[in-house]
Amino acid sequence: MNASAPVASIEPLLTRQDRDGVVTLCLNRPQQFNALSEELLGALQAELDALSRDPELRCVVIAGAGKAFCAGHDLRQMRATPTLDYYRALFARCAKVMLAIQALPVPAIARVHGIATAAGCQLVGACDLAIAADSARFAVSGINVGLFCSTPAVALSRNVSAKRAFDLLVSARFIDAATAADWGLINTAVPDAELDAAVARQCAVIAAKSPTAIRYGKAMFHRQRQMPLAEAYAYAGEVMAQNMMEEDALAGVDAFLDKRTPVWRPLSAS
């Protein structure tokens, strides 16, 4: 009898790791520098939708396997279906993922190494926070192949100044992690060997805060940015008043006045 041929293992396009309320989603197409294929976007959307309903969630980290964070869209897959309807659907799907990151009830942190280009740079901009290795590089390079990075421009221009964003979009030049931090695309750049520790520290800082207050705060922060000043103050005041009525806020103020450490109520106990 002939031995059966070995079955090749199929690695998941997206891996998930859970630890103490922190979920790390890792793009797992290392040979393609984690390019955002339709299938990877679908996997990412499914995880984000599930996480949005998790009461024990404290923080989400988005990372990349292999040598890069994310090299943008999968150009080979895009070229295989040259129809307007296909491209409209693809970019709408990508936008939905970026909006789902913002809609998460907790902070999302980009853990960036290697390159973050085009839609990969968009992914960094879509996250609430971003920490990068010193060796990381960033670019919106679609213009090099005759395609202006219009959708990445949305996230980019909401993180850096208009002139800096436009410069990157028309030049396709790379900037290093120190420049990205100076311009506001990321929060900080750290030595490569310290990247995981830096991300873990940021997650620990967030996890130590009231989960109720964090959820009030993230939703309020993004919504008020789209409002005129007076409307933003009115909205923020209402949110803060409602937050103040929560058990965590009352207990936290009491703990401050009594000079003791507050104990936060788990959301799952609500």
Domain map (residue ranges) of the chain: 14-207, 211-269
DSSP state of 268: G
CA angle centred on 56, ends 54 and 57, rounded to 5°? 70
Please say whether the beta carbons of 151 and 93 come within 8 A.
no
- Answer yes or no: CATH 1.10.12.10 is held by domain 211-269: yes
Q: Tell me the sheet residues that pair with 24.
A: 17, 61
- Prediction pTM value: 0.93
CATH fold of 14-207, please?
2-enoyl-CoA Hydratase; Chain A, domain 1 (3.90.226)
Mind listing the pLDDT tens digit of every residue in the chain (270 residues)? 344 444 445 889 999 999 999 999 999 999 999 999 999 999 999 999 999 999 999 999 999 999 999 999 999 999 999 999 999 999 999 999 999 999 999 999 999 999 999 999 999 999 999 999 999 999 999 999 999 999 999 999 999 999 999 999 999 999 999 999 999 999 999 999 999 999 999 999 999 999 999 999 999 999 999 999 999 999 999 999 999 999 999 999 999 999 999 999 888 655
Say how far apart CA 78 and CA 61 lie, in whole Å.
27
